[in-house]
Amino acid sequence: MSAKILDGTDLSQQLMDGLKPRIARLVKKGTYPRLSVIILGEDPASLSYVKSKGKACERLGMRSETVMLAEGTNQKDLLTVISGLNANPKVHGILVQMPMPKHIDENAVLEAIAPEKDVDGFTPVNMGRLLAGRECFRPCTPNGIMALLEKNHIDPAGKHAVIIGRSNIVGKPMAAMLMQKQKGADATVTVCHSHTKKMASIAKQADILIAAIGKPKFIGARMVKKGAVVIDVGINRVADAKAEKGYRLVGDVDFEAVKKVAKAITPVPGGVGKLTIAMLMTNTVQAAENLSGQHSAT
């Protein structure tokens, strides 16, 4: 048995193509969807992510700007920048690249972003709406996973979904989406984390296993039930002298071992990563439609 590969790259392109007519309608009426990304410091991984977001905007005919701030920028100055973007009617989406420097109060920053421009879906307002099952901007990575499950006709209803990781970016919102009382959800959800006892035995109960723990190849074949669907959110750089850049990307799942046990699995790269960008673009276009009073015809 060899698992079906859940291709996020193909679905990402479909989602991006679907945005083009919506963007064209906005532009025709004088609204150019615009994403503003704030980054503090010059962390190579963060810079790479920000660059990929800018390129995605460019490909779609959207506008983007990167606000580069020194790593030592104080919180007051950062909040002033956010306030300016909130007040700018030409800006529709705002995000602050994670992780932030340790001297910055992440909660205060997220609370400062206008919920109607919170295209990451991380503000308390949008997270609260998500938990309550109300309309909101959904965090991009979990929302991409939901789209991937739907595209591949994997219905979570009645299934046991186990999520390894409890971050506000993936684990918690993922749990909230999967347990909603609605079509495409209705799963029974267990969330494991660093204090979970007998994690391997819990993981092996999963019909749908989602790994978002940030540890290379943490999930081995012994942790996966035969026939399970495995979603690998991890993107880890591991040293590789043979690779052109001196490293290669691996997930939180031991792909080669687990694909022999699972029914379906996402690769790294080529799985969840590009879907995150596609969902960010979707949220930004939606924000532009909302703020301009133009509603999608789709």
Domain assignment of residue 243, given as a range: 140-272
Are both 255 and 164 inside the same structural domain?
Answer: yes
Does some domain include residue 77?
yes
Instruction: Render pLDDT for 64-83 as a digit per residue (tens, 0 to 9).
Output: 999 999 999 999 999 999 99
In a domain, 146, yes or no: yes
Q: Helix H segments across the chain?
A: 8-28, 44-60, 75-87, 106-112, 124-132, 140-151, 171-179, 199-203, 255-258, 273-292
* More confident position, 99 or 112: 112
CATH number at residue 103: 3.40.50.10860
> Pick the catalytic residue: 118, 120, 232, 252?
120
Same domain, 189 and 224: yes
Among 53, 117, 259, 263, the one annotated catalytic: 53
Distance between CA atoms of 113 and 276, rounded to whole angstroms?
Answer: 20
**pLDDT at residue 1, as a whole number:** 62
135 within some domain? no
**What pLDDT was estimated at residue 243?**
81
284 CB contacts (<8 Å, ≥6 apart)? 33, 34, 35, 57, 62, 92, 93, 119
Do the domain assignments include residue 206? Answer: yes
Q: What is the pLDDT of residues 230-262, one digit of tens each?
A: 999 998 888 888 888 888 889 999 999 999 999
How many distinct structural domains can be found in the chain? 2
| 182 is a catalytic site residue | no
Q: Is 119 a domain residue?
A: no
Question: What's the rounded mean pLDDT across residues 158-181?
Answer: 97
Residue 186 annotated in active site: no
Same domain flag for 96 and 212? no
In the chain, the amino acid numbered 199 is M
Where are any strands of DSSP class E within 174-263? 188-192, 208-211, 229-232, 236-239, 247-250
Residue 296 pLDDT level (bands cut at 50, 70, 90) = low
> How many residues in total does the chain contain?
298
- Averaged pLDDT for residues 135-142: 97
Reference 219, options 293, 163, 283; nearest CA is: 163
Which CATH number goes with the domain that contains 228? 3.40.50.720
* Band of residue 2 on the pLDDT scale cut at 50, 70, 90: confident
- Say which residue, 21 or 42, is predicted with more confidence: 21
| Residues 144 and 85 grouped into a single domain | no
CA distance 227 to 298: 36
Q: Is 35 domain-assigned?
A: yes
State the average pLDDT over residues 205-228. Answer: 97
Active-site option among 4, 28, 29, 97: 97
Question: Which amino acid is residue 273, in one-letter code?
Answer: G
Alpha-carbon span 4 to 227, nearest angstrom: 10
Task: Quote the pTM value.
Answer: 0.94
Residues 160-176 as b or e (16 or more Cβ within 10 Å = b): bbbbbbbbebbbbbbbb
